[in-house]
A and B are shown apart, each in its own frame.
Chain A
Amino acid sequence: MTRTAPRRAVAGQAAGTAPRRGRRLVALALLAALLLALALGAASIGAAGVAPADALAAVGARLGIGSSPLDAVGDAIVVDLRLPRIVAACAVGAGLAIVGAVMQALVRNPLADPYLLGVSSGASVGAVLVLVAGLAAVLPVAAFAGALLALLATLGLAGAAGGATPTRTVLAGVVVASAAGALVSLAIFWRADGDAFREILAWLLGSLAASTWQTAAIALVGAALALPLLVSGRLLDALALGDSAAGALGVDARRTRWALLVACALVTGVLVSVSGAIGFVGLVVPHAVRLVVGASHALLLPASGLAGAIVLLVADTVARAAFDPRELPVGIVTALLGAPVFAALMLTGRVRT
């Protein structure tokens, strides 16, 4: 779209704005509709095949509308097994993609995603420690605490080194992530056996297999925490012009950056506690979406959220159903899909630094 813009520029300038805004809303509506359709499809796909209409009716019945056409087992499979997993996948995907887009703008680094700044690694430390100790029940809290501590360590290190500039922040994040990774490995080799080991592995690779309505609810909370980030689009655009230009527009660059970074850590910590460390969604989705909708964050953030939900939903459904009877951790699927996509974006020069 950006490539063809110059030619269009002369023809329709003043007249173009209203329809353009309309088109943007239509694009978001289409993405949302696609997401709903895919969710319905995912609810009917699996070892036990269910017609999409029946799956929809079963969900409606649970909400008190009509009656379920399925037997008790089919009903439970759709509403109590698949649906929470679908909800979790959408919430985690949306949250990770939004956080990725925000972080890429904040640290002015196209490689930024929730993994940068050590946030995910910190969450891993918290999660692995409680898994090794056999306290799986407090995993969300531990993962979140780990994420927050890692973020504070990263920003503290960058600040102590002479001010949290984007480059320094990223370098500090690399250091913190390495240290956290070493702690995780140490914990695994020291203590883990049998079940704990498998649990840890699933968690490190990222998996939604253990989703229940409880974990789906936590994921929804994480995604809800990302909602305030959605309206930060214009602040991000202003920050992208530089701190001084942002200041001239009345935006306190320092305070805004800190507030958004902490919000990103919050969202990441909550999401990662549910799904484990799922890679590439936060990195690739914003880049791909940027190609279609442009760089202005007012549209990029909501579109990334919807696209992230779609991507993770599809990836998780593939992970769950495509290799029957074996089930893959979804993180493997996102990495298998994400790495070539990102490479293609790089090779075509679409990832701009």
Chain B
Amino acid sequence: MSAAAASGATGATTGLAVRGLTVAVRGRALVDAASWHAPTGAITALVGPNGAGKSTMLRAIAGVLPERARRGGAVLLDGAALAGPGALPPRERARRVALVEQTADAVPQLTAREAVRLGRTPHHRMLGFSLGDERLVEAALADAGAAGLADRPLGELSGGELQRVHVARALAQQPRLLLLDEPTNHLDVAWQLELLQLVRRLAADRPVVMTVHDLALAATHADRVVLVDRGRVVAEGVPDAVLTPERIRAVYGVEAEIDAAPGGVAIRYRRMEP
């Protein structure tokens, strides 16, 4: 657990502030008046059961909810509105916020480099790419560990390789806020650590928010944890304050035994006794 956790927690205007965010589809609230904060310089993990609304929150922040979704509340990044009243226009928003989704479609014939180049889209007018862009694209590929994949068609990549390409595309966007939906999915343990190290580097000068199912991973690598259940924020703060056996029992319905060692947190789960 990093000491960075405490530093940004109080400043309400820097970093990402989600205020009373509500998303409803056909009258059903997927996110219900959620308020939380992701400070610059920290990794914030969104955790919660399946269907808790974690991904929906990320999509709402990135402005890619389906048209029929009704939304309310406000999302502010360093004081500028990403959603809600006076929100930035889509292109302007896309210059500041990058989202790596769990189920991004892959065009099989597009090469990895071409896919990463698309990350430059919001920074451009209609014509061509500048040479500076090409450097950024190569740097993003290298940072995400995808340099060796650059000329391969996406259709030939494995799930983990594809994930690295999607992260590289997000980096090419040069975002001031990085949103990752289950970024460690599809990655073997070595690449998980590699990715988390990259995320740590990226979090140095921007807020990073990632949804995570693995609570031990969240407790070990995130500075702050936001626990979500049925669209509502249950608790928010440093991991060991949020992820307690009581809360895990209340939210997930399982018994948890948390073992916080210096190298990382391990959690053993048991079904609850009837």
Contact = CB atoms under 8 A, between A and B. Distances in A.
Nearest to A253: B64
A242 B104 contact: yes
Q: How large is the interface on A (under 10, 10 to 19, 20 to 34, 35 or more residues)?
A: 35 or more
Interface string A11-39: 00110111001000000000000000000
A295 B106 CA distance: 12
A10 interface: yes
Nearest to B149: A9
Interface string B156-172: 10000000000000000
A238 B121 contact: yes
A226 to B, nearest CB: 15
B118 A237 contact: yes
Interface stretch (B42-50, B88-96, B201-209, B221-229): B88-96
A2 B109 contact: yes
Contact of B151 (A9, A21, A238, A296): A9
B126 A18 contact: no
B122 A18 contact: no
B141 to A, nearest CB: 7
A298 B114 CA distance: 10
B138 A244 contact: no
Given A240-B110, A295-B110, A252 B152 contact: no
B73 interface: no
A228 B190 CA distance: 46
B59 interface: yes
Contacts of A240: 105, 107, 110
Contact of A250 (B95, B111, B155): B95
Contacts of B148: 9-10, 13
B134 interface: yes
A244 B65 CA distance: 8
Q: How large is the interface on B (under 10, 10 to 19, 20 to 34, 35 or more residues)?
A: 35 or more
A234 B151 contact: no
Interface in B61-112: 62-64, 67, 90-95, 97-99, 101, 104-111
A295 B152 contact: no
A233 B150 CA distance: 20
Most buried by B among A9, A16, A243, A245: A245
A249 B94 contact: yes
A248 B62 contact: yes
B152 A296 contact: no
Contacts of A18: 131, 134
Nearest to B114: A296
A296 B62 CA distance: 25
B122 A250 contact: yes
Interface in A141-193: none
A245 B118 CA distance: 10
A295 B156 contact: no
B114 to A, nearest CB: 4
A14 B121 contact: no
A16 B105 contact: no
Contact of B118 (A9, A10, A14, A234): A234
Contact of A245 (B91, B101, B109, B141): B101
B107 A250 contact: no
Interface string B118-145: 1101101011100100100110011000
A234 B138 CA distance: 18
Nearest to A242: B105
B137 to A, nearest CB: 8
Contacts of B254: none
A168 B74 CA distance: 36
Nearest to B91: A250
A85 interface: no
Nearest to B63: A247
Given A5-B111, A18-B131, A296-B110, A241 B138 contact: no
Most buried by B among A6, A242, A250: A250
A134 interface: no
Contacts of B127: 231
B142 to A, nearest CB: 8
Nearest to B166: A245
A260 interface: no
A326 interface: no
A234 B64 contact: no
B153 interface: yes
Nearest to B133: A17
B173 interface: yes
B216 interface: no
A250 B147 contact: no
B152 A9 contact: yes
A234 B105 contact: no
A249 B153 contact: no
Nearest to A247: B64
Nearest to A248: B99
B115 interface: yes
8 contacts: A13-B141, A240-B105, A242-B105, A243-B64, A249-B118, A254-B67, A295-B111, A296-B110
Given A237-B107, A249-B118, A352-B155, 4 more contacts: A17-B138, A241-B115, A249-B119, A249-B173
Closest 9 A/B residue pairs (Cβ): A250-B94, A295-B109, A250-B91, A242-B105, A247-B64, A250-B122, A5-B151, A240-B107, A9-B151
